[in-house]
Amino acid sequence: MPESHSFGLEPISCHSFNGDKTQLALSPNNHEVHIYKKVGNKWEKCHVLDEHSQRVTSIDWAPKSNRIVTCGTDRNAYVWVMQGNEWKPTLVILRINRAATFVRWSPQENKFAVGSGARLVSVCYFEQENDWWVSKHIKKPIRSTVTSLDWHPNNILLACGSTDFKARVYSAYIKEVEPKPSSTPWGAKMTFSNLMFENSSGGGWVHGVSFSQSGDKLAWVSHGSTVHVADAAQGMAVTFLKTQFLPFLACSWITDNSIVVVGHDCSPLLFSQDGQGAISFVNKLDTKGGQKESGNKSAMKIFRDLDKKATTESKTERDSLHQNAITEVAVYDGTKSNASKFVTTGVDGKLVIWDIRSLESAIAGLRIA
């Protein structure tokens, strides 16, 4: 059975684990970040980080350096470092005039990227001479709010999803902190902010982006319930699948050819890609759910259930572990090419750890390497 934890009635707007998964940082949809430590099978609150003046929108905990970066609608980002028994914040100069929406450390943890409503991405790095964090901006041709980011394994390329219906890949090479990069299937020109790839979602706002473990594939999901995959090794070939599920909000690779997608359907959905690149829906991964359903039937069932709840039924609990939209998904144990567990958080205040090995009946024959 999946491991479910409740953190109250407030939505979990964002979360991140430390390197060994013994501590958890999350924001209960306000200006605070709560740090929990694992005691047995329960989580106990041990710190509250309250430097932000408005709602925290994203958190990332660097597994090696043990630094936390947070950003929020107050247009600020902070890097938190443990000193003694206290978390001490350092303000990052983002130079933005709209809310910061999403933040992620790079794989080598020598820089991080912050998306914002200012139609740009701030790539931040530490300047030793002045002892502060500074940023460079990626602007063009972003035309609306940046909703999601993901780093390529090479620490240079950065995937960006935004509400202008586009998924993009940029070079985020910072010559001040790293050596000149070598070429990749995405391209050879690695000057900062160079646009390596751009594609329209065709299905609304892009809410989630995810590089595969090799970095050759990029998956993204949209508000139009569409799953896209771009394969740089196959000449930037793009395939997509339009579904009838409710809008998608996030995605993550769990093997080299399978993607977990989450959103307003309240259950993780598994999609796979075959040898020719075609994407297909496999199944819902919620063990409380019923048998395999097509996307169309699932959406019809949801609207039918909503209608029943409003008129004839007194039952208000959904047949799923999450009782509201799932907003985040990430690999919990393993890698994006061979994950054994993944974690989801949602508007219902729950955090659920899913064991892929125990979901074999729902996977319905898909080989998990």
d(CA 74, CA 11): 19
Q: 369 lies in a domain?
A: no
DSSP string, 77-115: EEEEEEETTEEEEEEE----SS-EEEEEE-TTSSEEEEE
Residue 362: inside a domain, yes or no? no
pLDDT for 275 beyond 80: yes
- Residue-wise pLDDT for 111-159, tens only, equals 999 999 999 999 999 998 888 999 999 999 999 999 999 999 999 999 9
Task: Evaluate whether residue 191 is within a structural domain.
Answer: yes
Domain count, the chain: 1
Q: Is residue 164 part of a domain?
A: yes
CB atoms near residue 150 (< 10 Å): 24
What CATH number corresponds to the domain at position 205? 2.130.10.10
- Cβ partners under 8 Å of residue 293, min gap 6: 284, 301
Does residue 9 form part of some domain? yes
Q: Show the beta-strand stretches assigned E in 154-256.
A: 157-162, 166-171, 195-200, 206-211, 217-222, 226-231, 237-242, 248-255
> Containing H/E element for 298?
helix 295-311
Q: Tell me the pLDDT tens digit for each residue of 10-59.
A: 999 999 999 999 999 999 999 999 999 999 989 999 999 999 999 999 99
How does pLDDT run across 289-328, given as a tens digit for each residue?
444 444 455 566 666 666 666 644 545 677 889 999 999 9
**Range(s) of the domain holding residue 142:** 3-355
- Give me the chain's average pLDDT, please: 91
- Residue 338's SS3 state is strand
Q: Is 345 helix (H, G, I), strand (E, B) or coil?
A: strand
The verdict on residue 114 lying in a domain is yes
Is 66 within a domain? yes
The pLDDT tens digits for 56-103 are 999 999 999 999 999 999 999 999 999 999 999 999 999 999 999 999
- Residue 108 resides in a domain: yes
How much is the average pLDDT of 256-275? 95
For the chain, the 3-state helix, strand and coil shares in percent, each to the nearest 5, are 10, 50, 45
